[in-house]
Amino acid sequence: KMTKTIIKLTVRDVRFPTSLEQHGSDAMHTDPDYSVAYVVIETDQGMQGYGLTFTVGRGTEIDWTRERSHSVGHCGGPECSMGPLGAVRGQGETLESLDQMLKEGYPAYTTSCAWLGYSDQLLKQLCTDALNDGWTKFKVKVGADLKDDIRRCSLIRQMIGAHNTLMIDANQRWDVGEAITWVTRLAEYKPLWIEEPTSPDDILGHAAISKALAPLGIGVATGEQCHNRVMFKQFLQASALQFVQIDSCRLGSVNENLAVLLMAHKFKVPVCPHAGGVGLCELVQHLILFDYISVSASLDNRMCEFVDHLHQHFRSPVVIQNAHYMPPKDPGYSCEMLESSVQTHQYPQGQVWKKLQ
């Protein structure tokens, strides 16, 4: 086999001005510009690999070193694969699950309707459109103002009806006691989970919140800020979460994510990945399909986040049909961006940013 040598590595700061329309706004990030540190690796055989790390803008400036070590795990070339699909389950079961995914896809939920900065009028319009498109699971950003949260959760629940699923997300805004009190006030709107109720590093705090909210039938979801498998191990051992939210960019490489999928299966906790941002949906679809086909074989309380922003900038964008992720057909990890988009949105010299200066 001919040895391939890396001969070039380029890193670019690519940013999208999403703050202009409040896309992505939540209790902690009021004006995010969705961005990536985007890496392309070239070999002497003419092959290329692609990698990215998502940030909300300013974080890209401190992400270069992390991304240089991170991007190799996010190989985007045709030789990149998820390994043998029969890793955990038998071959017959695996093929049956694969066939089901090819026909039906993996269930998704939407966060696009209820960013914190959206007006009630826009929220209503987006909810109506989403329901007409077949969406049945909706997430609402909360955490900045309780009265505002009560109004918005009431509005969303009224819009989607009692039969559809509602989740809420505080983006780390509260301390432990405040989280319990605040979510108790929102319990009448029947959220399936409260996401990131407190500091993502506070494992025992999450355990206390989980215990307090269990009688209300509300689970705790977290994980998008967990940076290694050891944190997930401790969250699972402490019964501190009821929904595991892996993030395809936060954890370094595919292998680290697979370790978390296996632990979640051992503890019988459903995996509901975090996605959105720039490219996160494109990447994480591979991981959640692997989880269903080769590990869990279950769709009970399982869904993958979808945010309908910025997919047009990727060579192989996600395909959503009837609120389901359809399995990607192209080889690689779906993280190759269109060169025209990269050039236009490169910060600060790209055309888009020059116009805004």
| Mean pLDDT along residues 92-109 | 90
141 is catalytic: yes
Lowest mean pLDDT among 16-30, 144-158, 272-286: 16-30
Backbone angles phi, psi at 146, to 5 degrees: -65, -45
Using alpha carbons, select from 295, 280, 168 the residue that is nearest to residue 219. 168
The answer to whether residue 84 scores a pLDDT higher than 80 is: no
Percent of the chain beyond pLDDT 90? 73
> Which of 23, 29, 141, 265 is the catalytic position?
141
Active-site entry in 274, 309, 324, 345? 274
Region 298-314: mean pLDDT is 94
Radius of gyration of the chain (CA): 20
Cβ partners under 8 Å of residue 20, min gap 6: none
Q: How far is CA 356 from CA 13, 232, 349, 351, in A?
A: 16, 41, 11, 9
CA pair distance 64, 143, nearest whole angstrom: 31
pLDDT tens for 159-206 read 999 999 999 999 999 999 999 999 999 999 999 999 999 999 999 999
Token duo for residue 312: 């047009």
Q: What is the mean pLDDT of residues 208-231?
A: 97
Model confidence at 27: pLDDT above 90: no
Bridge partners (DSSP) listed for residue 43 = 6
Confidence (pTM): 0.89
